[in-house]
Every structure is written in structure tokens, then in C-alpha cells.
Amino acid sequence: MTTLQHNTHTRSTHSYQKQAQSSRSPGRLATALLTAAVMGASTQVIAQDDDPIKVGILHSLSGTMAISETVLKDTVEMLIEQQNEAGGLLGRQLEAVVVDPASNWPLFAERARELLAQEEVDVIFGNWTSVSRKAVLPVVEELNGLLFYPVQYEGEESSENVFYTGAAPNQQAIPAVEYLINEVGIERFALVGTDYVYPRTTNRILEAFLKDEHGIAEEDIMVNYTPFGHSDWQNIVAEIRRFGEEGKPTAVISTVNGDANVPFYTELSNQGIDAADIPVIAFSVGEQELTGIDTGPLVGHLAAWNYFMSVDNDDNYDFIDAWIEYTGDDMAVTNDPMEAHYIGFNMWAEAVRKAGTTDVDTVKDAIIGVTVPNLSGGYAAMMPNHHITKPVLIGEIQDNGQFDIVWQTPSTVAGDAWSDYLPGSRDLIADWRKPMECGNFNVVNGSCGGSTAAEEAEAALAE
Amino acid sequence: MRRFLSLGLLCLMLLSITVTAQAQTNSTASSTDDTAALELLEALDVESYTAKSEAITAILQSDDERARDWLQALLDGRLQRTEDGRFVLVLENRGRDWPVADVLTGEALGEMSRRDLERVGINNNLRNQLRSAIAVVDLYSPNVERRRTSAERLLGEVDSDLVQPINELIEQEEDDQVRYRLTQAVAIYRAEAGEMEGVEALDGSLHPRSRVALSRAANGDDPVVANAAAASLAGIEQQLKINRGLETLYFGLSLGSVLVLAAIGLAITFGVMGVINMAHGELMMLGAYTTWAMQQLLPGQPGLALILSIPAGFMVAALAGVAIERGVIQFLKGRPLETLLATFGISLILQQLVRTVISPLNRTVITPEWMSGSLVVNDALSLTLNRMYVLGFALVVFAGLMLIMRRTRLGLEVRAVTQNRAMARSMGIRATRVDIMTFALGSGVAGLAGVALSQLTNVGPNLGQNYIIDSFMVVVFGGVGNLWGTLVAGLSLGVINQVLEPWAGAVLAKIIVLVFIILFIQKRPRGLFPQKGRAAEG
């Protein structure tokens, strides 16, 4: 049943794409004429090169993650459309190939295989949850594809075929905690998260960081996990309230994912916990999530991201205008993972231009060091560990669903694949440049750890 | 600490302000100072938060009587600036264009695009500063409510400079609550300073600030004071334990009431009629979406919309239920497996329908003013209002259903048809009509549950899925076909869950409850209250 659905879906998106291409005629026509002229001049051999460059989009369009991922699909489609309007890439048009993994983690791997093996796409933009990325990883490595992953994640990974354009923990969680300690004077931390790999790993890193770097005592850290979509927060919030009543300034660090946040914040405000008493800093609540929420109870709570829609910058305003025009919705919002796709797409396009081909191995080498503007007025560079440089921003939620930026790092921060605060991963670095070409190089014993170092790190995580 | 000191200074200054302001007549104060006032506001519009903090202090020191309104506007993020530098107050900040008024003159300026407005930003530190400042100003307010919140805010924030003026205020204060809070605030200050008087005054107080103050006093140098503080701390801890127990019980009952609401409709369709309706959760979802739709139809009146949603949600879900019964279930009578599959299909169809027609995104349902916040029993126990309403609503729905089933002709016929269909028909009961009515009733109650859930959780296409398993669990645990069983089962599962949660965690608590039910059903397959007699055999 799903296959059928999916097939029709792909086809309809294709035809939509074609319609879109032909409907925006003037620019298109010129490009087409140009291409035709080039074609006439060239020989039969490169005729094959006029086939469109295929861009795979692997985002859930149904199921629980559809809320967050649908806009990312639209973002990539918009970027492709813009690129095509600007004349395509290497003189060729781009074509989106959309599949729907339906928030089903194993299905992500199947769809990725289909994109690479059947559709033979040149690059994939996709995934949201870490579980889905872990599912796709072996497929992308086996079939030598390119995957751009746009969401903040827990780190402890660096693959030759994956480019992480979202934040690693040192680009979001760690600076956020430092902000709480240094600027707000927080001394007690409640780490509250949804029960899956990203919150668990992030909280483990944060716990180690708080204890080792800031000397926070064991009893001043509270950790709590809840299932996906949890809606009964009474007890946990009461616990947080009591935790915060001991006389020390307290904050909640929330890795609660998805719509479980709404009842969480509502319960906080109903039990009379105000942002001024116990601020909550969230790593998964962005503008998109706030559109489904009555923001009244959230005002003053914090979020840490690398981009906010409220960033005062002309590039950002242009992006927002383009997005509103593309969606046809006046109230459409932009968010951090969208910016990550914006950066990732531009980096890939730049690397393809630099390499003169879409060949995966060549692009993979060419993209390291590529620098493109981000939307907050700075530049993002692709590092040798396949992570990028990003500024870290802290915003306070306002009652109109936007963030007021209250703090930001003075410069951009380079993503760190392996956390410096976990015992197993402390000694690992990733560098995909020749001659090292290793995702988990152990600097202590000087060898590319291969499986053992990665396993050590994983064992450290699992304990 | 620095904040407290500056607060004391502030208060002294304010005292002098109030005196001068009283001496002055109102008209002279405002109009002459507009240039000065503009300067004060200008100072707020700077990058640095330290400079902003100083600007706020400057505004407080000024003798402009609009100062409080400005600070409140700044606190609410409604103090904004137009492109030509005019300070305006945003009256309503939804949508793209906002109605604004001039801050200095109060004159309405019509609507302005939000792109042309720049907010004077603040952060949490400033927000704290503003709240404390407004609290001190409000102590002199003629409005009792303002004085109450302000006194509440001062707990634990009193310093040596504030003690004197607060003591004077206590003597003048007419409201008991304000006087109590202010006395407590001073006592906390005294106890922290190690004074016996303060420790004695705090004996039995459950407020967290008092506890912190007492535990500091208990670690103090004077052994007599320390012992007294330790003794009252022990008493307070005992009290807190009791309150905590009560709180957990309340949490449990409120979770239980949600389970009862979700399951009670199913207790009728599944329990009484024997139809396994997997689309029950989606009927709840329809009820929740009805609430959303009503709020869209009646903008600005979320409370009225919510009340009207109760009959509307019932009707929508009941009609959908009738459609399902007539369209599918009646053809599958006596084939439970096929009914299960068909209704599961319907549930998927309904979910996708909502996704396509409305949106895959969650909808915002506004909680009316009278349902947010909590009922304060004492300093350690407050009951959240939204859940209290839901608890009450669940009980009312249950009572109503019991009445219908026990006291009306419909109830009699339902019981007759379910006990012996053939016999009932031969007695002249139109069994088909009873089927429709019963299913409509069960579905309508699911709609009511949806209306209630819209106040507690997300209104989205997945709402129903989250509750369907729990609903079946409650019905089976309580005993199929028994409404009392559903009530008892729902409430007790809620309490068990909440008692387990603090030490087992939310995930494990759920698992333990599930395992418990499985074992229980092994032992007593017919649930808590099994049906007796011949009807049970069928």
C-alpha cells in the first residue's frame, strides 16, 4: 500500500515540478534557448549532461514528524526553483525527487536506497530525527551518496558521506549552558528531555560538562525523561517546582521534542512557574513549533539556536520574503533547520561549481573549505570534519511567536563531531581531507580508530 | 544581591515620590514634562542591557506618574518605536498590522505594520528588575489586587532599607492578605538575619522562601535561634509531606478523570454494544477540532466558544458516529475482527481528512482566562484550575450517562437489546433504532472528551491515537459493560500512575501500569466489576 502511495506521490511531484518550470516562463524560456544554443554547438557526447541534476528530498510528509519536516521539503524545493531561475547549475537544470519516508525510521533507509539506486540522485537533503539518520547512514555509505542533514543533533558521529549543517552540541547546548551560568547566574539545572538518543546523549554531555567544568554538584542536577507526545506533566512540573524552591537560582534545560512541549509549558504556567523564576531553555522549540501554541504562557522562556526569524539582516529579510511568496502564506515562518538547508544547498551548489561536476567523490573533496553567507549576517564554512561554522544565538520567546535575541556568541563556532566532555570521544577527531580521511582519528594512539574507537565512544554513551 | 540593595534605594526614593506626587496636581505634572519624558524613554532604546537597566532606574526616579504604565508596557514588550522615532504603545500584537497609541499623549494612532515598528527589547534580568520595581510602586497602589501580587513578590527580597517603610505600610494596610504577606516578608528578612523574632513568626509557614530562610537560620551562629529554626523546619517538613501526598492524589484523580472521559464513550459502544470501534479516538479528535472551530467563529471570546463547544462537539461526534454505524458497522454485526479492521481504516481516513482539509499542523486552542492558573489552597498546595474543571466535567458527564442508562426509556431499551436482542425485538423494541441511538450517545461522549482534551493537550490529527489504547485499557480493566467499573478503573489507574511516576519516571510508570493490568486480567479476565448473570455469558 505504501509503495503505491509513494509512487503516485513521486510522480505527482515531478509533474508539479515540470508545471512549475514551464509556468514561470520568461526566465525559463531564455535559459531553455540558451541551453538549446549550447546544445547545438556541442557534440552528441555531452548531450547526456543536459539531463537535469537530480536532488533527492528525504523528509517525512506524513506521520508525527510531518509537522516539522514538510517545511524543509518545501524549502529545498524553493531553493531549487531559485537556482533554476538563476540558470541552474553547470548549465543544467535541477530537478527535485521527493519521497515520503512517513516518519518511519526503517522506511527512511529504503527510501534512501531508492533515491540512490533507482533515481540515481546526485545529492540528498533530508532527515530530522537522529534515529532516521542512523538508519540512512549505512545506505548512504554503501552507495556512496551525499546527504545534507539540517537539524541540531547529539554529535558523536562523522561520516564521509554526510554533511552536518545543523548544530553539534558545542554549537548549541554548551554555549546555552554557559549563557545560563555566566549571564543569568543559574546554579541548579533540571535536564528534561524526550526519551530517545538526542536528549540522552546531549544530557550526558551536559552533565559531564556541568560537573567537570563548572563544579556543579550531583544534587544540583536533576534528569528526567518522558515518552514522545507526553501530555501529563503535572508530576514532573511539580518536581521541578520543588527542585527550584531550595533557594538557588534554577533553570530547566529542555530537550523535549515536538508537540509535547505545549502541555509542558502550559503546566508550567498553570502551576505558577514564571520565566523569571525558573527559565526554561529549549533546544527543540523554534518558530515553526510555536505556530501551534498559545504563546502567552511561554513568554520569557528561552531557546538556543543558530538562527532566528527575527535576525535583523537583509539576507534574512530576502529569504523570508521569498519564503512567504513561495508558500503564499502571509503568516509563514522560517526557522533554524530551514537556514541549515539554505546554507547546505548553497554550499553544495558552490562545491559543484568549483568541481565542475556533480560526481560525489569530487564534490566531497571540493566542498571542504567552501564558505557561503548564512542568514544572520556572517559566513558559514564547511570544516574538514563535515560540520560547519555557526554563530550561537539565545532568544526569548515573545507573545507573537517570535524570539527576541538576547545574547549571541561574538564569532562563529566550529562544529565538533566528537564531544570534548565525554571520556570515550575526548581523544577523537574527524578529518576527511587527504591523507587522513578518517571520521574517528584517535590523537592519543595516533591511529584511525576504525571500529574500536567508535565503539569505545558508543560504550561510553551506553553506560 | 545587588538587585535587593538597589531595590531598597528605589523604595526610599519612591517614598519621596509618592509624597511629592500627592502634593502636586495631576494636570501640571504630565504636560510640562513631555520633553523630559521623551528623554527618559530615549535612554531605554539602547543596545546595552546595563544601560537599559540604568534607564529604568532613571524612569523610576522621575516623578512622572505615567512611569508605571511605561514600565509595564516595557515588561509586556508593548513599548515600541516607529521608524520616525515616536514611542508607541502596541494595543494588540496579533497579525501583521497592530493598533498603536502614542505613549506620551495616549492618542490612538490607528494600525501600523509590524515591519515599521521596533520593539524596545528586554531580557530576563531586566524583566526581574522591572517586576521588582513595579512591585514596590504597586505597594502604594489603591488597587488591592496589585498590592497583593506586589506583596507576594517581596517575599525574600526585603532588605534593611525596606524594613522600615514596609512596617509603616503594614500598619496602614486594610487588606488581611496583603498585611499577612508583608509581615511574612519582614519575618523572612529577620530570620535570615538570625533574629529569634523572625524565626518565631515563620513557624508553620509553608512558603518555600520561609523554608529557605529557616534553613539558613538553622545553620546560624546563635544555638538558641538555630534550634528553634530547626524545630519549626521539622514541623514544616511534616506539613509539606502531607501536602505532597494530597497533591499527588489530585494529580492522579485529574489524570484519571481524563482516562474516564476518554473511556466512558467506549464503555458504551464497546462495553454495552460490543462494537470494537477503533475510530473512537478520532471521534474525540473531532470534538477537539469543534472547539477550535468554535473559537475561530467567535474570536475574542474563547470562554463562550468553549461552553458552546460542549453541545456542538457532542453533536458533531454523534453525527459522525451515526454515519460510521450506518455506513459500516451495521453490515459487520457479529464479526468483531472485521469491525476492528474496518473501524481502524475509518480512523486512518478521518486522520488524513483532517490533515488534508484543515492542516497537518496542530491548531491553537486558547484556554479562557477563568481556566488558567491555579486555586491556591496554601503555600505548598495549589490545584491547577484547568484540570479541576476537567475533573468536574468528567464527573458530570458520568452522572449524566448513568442517569440516561438507568432512568430513561432509551437506557432501558439499550439494556434490553444488549441483554437479549431477539427477545427485545419481539417485545416491540426497534433494535436498529436503539443501535443508532446508543452508538450516537457513545460517540457524542467521545466528542465531549475531545472538547475537554483540547484544554489539556495538543489539538492535532494524532490526538485520538494517543488515547485509544488507554481507553480500551480502562474499559477492560473496569469490566466490560459496567459504567461504574470504568469510573473506578480510570481514577485508580490515574492515581497509580501518578504515585509511581516520581520514583519510576514517566516511561517506566506507564510500563508498570500496563504489566499490572495484564497480570490482573490473567487473574480476573472480566475486570474489576464483572457482569453477572446470563447477560455475561453472551
Tell me the per-residue pLDDT of B498-528, one tens digit each, with 9 for 90 and over: 999 888 888 898 899 999 999 998 998 888 8
Tell me the per-residue pLDDT of B380-410, one tens digit each, with 9 for 90 and over: 888 999 999 999 999 999 999 999 989 999 9
Nearest to B506 among A66, A67, A236 (CB): A236
Chain A residue numbers touching B363 (CB-CB < 8 A):
292
Average pLDDT over residues A287-313: 84
Distance CA A75, CA A55 (A): 13
B223 has a pLDDT exceeding 90: no
Write b or e for each residue in A433-463: b if 16 or more Cβ atoms lie within 10 A of its Cβ, otherwise e: eeeeebbbbbeeeeeebeeebbebbeebbee
Nearest to B124 among A62, A300, A399 (CB): A300
Give the model's pLDDT for residue A400.
77
Tell me the per-residue pLDDT of B56-86, one tens digit each, with 9 for 90 and over: 888 887 877 788 888 888 887 788 888 888 8
Q: Shortest Cα distance from B408 to chain A (angstroms)? A: 36
Percent of chain B with pLDDT over 90: 33
Chain B residue numbers touching A59 (CB-CB < 8 A):
none
- Are B513 and B470 in contact by the 8 Å Cβ rule? The answer is no
Q: If pLDDT is split at 50, 70 and 90, which confidence band does B26 have?
A: very low
A439 has a pLDDT exceeding 80: yes
Q: How far is CA B26 from CA B30, B32, B142, in A?
A: 7, 11, 16
Nearest CA in chain A to B511: A227
H-type alpha helices, A231-371: 234-243, 261-270, 287-290, 314-327, 336-355, 360-367
Distance CA B262, CA B283 (A): 10
Dihedral sign of CA atoms B209, B130, B381, A250 in order = negative
- Are A113 and A143 in contact by the 8 Å Cβ rule? The answer is yes
Give the model's pLDDT for residue B74.
86
Interface touch A234/B211, C-beta < 8 Å? no
B262 Cβ neighbours under 8 A, 6+ residues apart:
B281, B284, B446, B449, B453, B467, B470, B471, B474
Chain B residue numbers touching A297 (CB-CB < 8 A):
372
Give the model's pLDDT for residue B10.
52
pTM for this model (two decimals): 0.80
A39 Cβ neighbours under 8 A, 6+ residues apart:
A47, A50
Of B188, B179, B183, B171, which is closest to residue B144 (Cα–Cα)?
B179
Give the other-Cβ count within 10 Å of B382's Cβ.
20
In the beta sheet, which residues pair with residue B87? B81
More confident residue, B325 or B373: B325
Distance CA A172, CA A166 (A): 10
- Domain membership flag for residue B106: no
In the beta sheet, which residues pair with residue A403? A397
Give the model's pLDDT for residue A384.
93
Chain A residue numbers touching B303 (CB-CB < 8 A):
none
More confident residue, A454 or A366: A366
A337 close contact with B: CB closer than 8 A? no
Distance CA A414, CA A407 (A): 18
In the beta sheet, which residues pair with residue A192? A224, A254
- Domain membership flag for residue B158: no
In the beta sheet, which residues pair with residue B367? none
Q: Which residue has the cell 540522552?
A: A200
The helix (run of H) or strand (run of E) holding residue B461 is none
Nearest to B506 among A226, A247, A291 (CB): A226
Q: Shortest Cα distance from A74 to chain B (angstroms)? A: 14
Nearest to B466 among A229, A279, A300 (CB): A229
Give the model's pLDDT for residue A2.
38
Give the model's pLDDT for residue B420.
83
Give the model's pLDDT for residue B117.
78
Q: If pLDDT is split at 50, 70 and 90, which confidence band does A408 have?
A: confident
Nearest CA in chain A to B129: A276
Q: Shortest Cα distance from B375 to chain A (angstroms)? A: 9
* Strand order from edge to edge, sheet including B97-102: B108-113, B97-102, B87-90, B79-82, B117-119
Average pLDDT over residues B349-378: 86
Q: Which residue has the cell 481502524?
A: B344
The DSSP code sequence of B344-381 is HHHHHHHHHHHHHHT-SSPBP-PPPGGGSSEEEEETTE
Q: Shortest Cα distance from A433 to chain B (angstroms)? A: 42
Q: If pLDDT is split at 50, 70 and 90, which confidence band does A344 have?
A: very high
A233-247, A441-455, B30-44, B185-199, range with greatest mean pLDDT:
A233-247
A226 close contact with B: CB closer than 8 A? yes
Q: Shortest Cα distance from B384 to chain A (angstroms)? A: 6
Give the model's pLDDT for residue B95.
55
Give the model's pLDDT for residue A40.
43
Of A365, A370, A457, A371, which is closest to residue A417 (Cα–Cα)?
A457
Give the other-Cβ count within 10 Å of B334's Cβ.
7
The per-residue pLDDT of chain A, averaged, comes to 84
Average pLDDT over residues A405-411: 86
A275 close contact with B: CB closer than 8 A? yes
A20 has a pLDDT exceeding 60: no
| CATH classification of the domain holding B435 | 1.10.3470
Average pLDDT over residues B181-195: 86
- Domain membership flag for residue B16: no
Q: If pLDDT is split at 50, 70 and 90, which confidence band does A6 have?
A: very low
Interface touch A293/B364, C-beta < 8 Å? yes
Per the structure, the count of domains in chain B is 1
A306 has a pLDDT exceeding 90: yes
Chain A residue numbers touching B366 (CB-CB < 8 A):
294
Dihedral sign of CA atoms B302, B308, B314, B317 in order = negative
Interface probe for B, chosen from A270, A293, A330, A331 (most Cβ of B below 10 Å), is: A270
Average pLDDT over residues A361-367: 94
Interface touch B460/A259, C-beta < 8 Å? yes
Looking at residue A24, the DSSP 8-state letter turns out to be S
Tell me the per-residue pLDDT of B110-122, one tens digit each, with 9 for 90 and over: 888 766 777 787 7
Nearest CA in chain A to B370: A270
Instruction: Give the lowest-confidence range in B25-29, B159-163, B347-351, B420-424.
Output: B25-29
B96 has a pLDDT exceeding 50: yes
- Are A284 and A128 in contact by the 8 Å Cβ rule? The answer is no
Q: Which three cell numbers stand for residue A7?
A: 509512487
- Are A380 and A357 in contact by the 8 Å Cβ rule? The answer is no
More confident residue, A442 or A364: A364
Interface touch B460/A246, C-beta < 8 Å? no
* Packed helices B176-192 and B208-218: angle between N→C axes, nearest 10 degrees: 20
Q: Shortest Cα distance from B387 to chain A (angstroms)? A: 10
- Domain membership flag for residue B460: yes
- Domain membership flag for residue B521: yes
A56 Cβ neighbours under 8 A, 6+ residues apart:
A97, A99, A112, A115, A116, A119, A121, A123, A124, A125, A126
A259 has a pLDDT exceeding 80: no
Percent of chain A with pLDDT over 70: 86
Of A87, A77, A58, A89, which is closest to residue A351 (Cα–Cα)?
A89
Range of the structural domain that residue B289 is part of: 246-374+382-537
Q: If pLDDT is split at 50, 70 and 90, which confidence band does B217 have?
A: confident
- Are A304 and A152 in contact by the 8 Å Cβ rule? The answer is no
Q: Which three cell numbers stand for residue A196?
A: 530517545
Average pLDDT over residues B20-45: 63
Q: If pLDDT is split at 50, 70 and 90, which confidence band does A461 have?
A: very low
Q: What are phi and psi of B228, to 5 degrees?
A: -60, -45
B427: burial class by Cβ within 10 Å (0-12, 13-18, 19+)? exposed
**DSSP-based three-state secondary structure for A241:** helix
Interface touch B248/A235, C-beta < 8 Å? yes
Nearest CA in chain A to B249: A235
Q: If pLDDT is split at 50, 70 and 90, which confidence band does A26 have?
A: very low
Q: Shortest Cα distance from A269 to chain B (angstroms)? A: 7
Nearest to A271 among B255, B384, B457 (CB): B384
Give the model's pLDDT for residue A292.
67
Average pLDDT over residues A192-214: 91
Instruction: Give the lowest-confidence range in A46-60, A347-361, B513-527.
Output: A46-60
- Are B288 and B459 in contact by the 8 Å Cβ rule? The answer is yes
Q: Shortest Cα distance from B93 to chain A (angstroms)? A: 7
Of B224, B238, B233, which is closest to residue B203 (Cα–Cα)?
B233
Interface touch B510/A227, C-beta < 8 Å? yes
Interface touch B366/A294, C-beta < 8 Å? yes
Distance CA A211, CA B81 (A): 44
Instruction: Give the lowest-confidence range in A296-300, B20-24, B106-110, B486-490.
Output: B20-24
Give the model's pLDDT for residue B528.
85
Give the other-Cβ count within 10 Å of B336's Cβ.
12
- Domain membership flag for residue B101: no
Distance CA B136, CA B146 (A): 10
Of B450, B418, B116, B432, which is closest to residue B282 (Cα–Cα)?
B450
Q: Apex CA B299: angle with CA B296 and CA B303, to 5°?
A: 95
Distance CA B137, CA B129 (A): 12
Q: If pLDDT is split at 50, 70 and 90, which confidence band does B94 have?
A: low
More confident residue, A180 or B537: A180
A413 Cβ neighbours under 8 A, 6+ residues apart:
A170, A171, A175, A389, A390, A391, A392
Distance CA A173, CA A202 (A): 7
Q: If pLDDT is split at 50, 70 and 90, which confidence band does A49 have?
A: low
Q: If pLDDT is split at 50, 70 and 90, which confidence band does A31 have?
A: low
The helix (run of H) or strand (run of E) holding residue A379 is strand A379-381
Give the model's pLDDT for residue B109.
83
Average pLDDT over residues A284-296: 80
Chain centroid to CA A224: 24
Tell me the per-residue pLDDT of A133-183, one tens digit each, with 9 for 90 and over: 999 999 999 999 999 999 999 888 889 999 999 999 999 999 999 999 988
- Are A108 and A50 in contact by the 8 Å Cβ rule? The answer is no
- Domain membership flag for residue B223: no
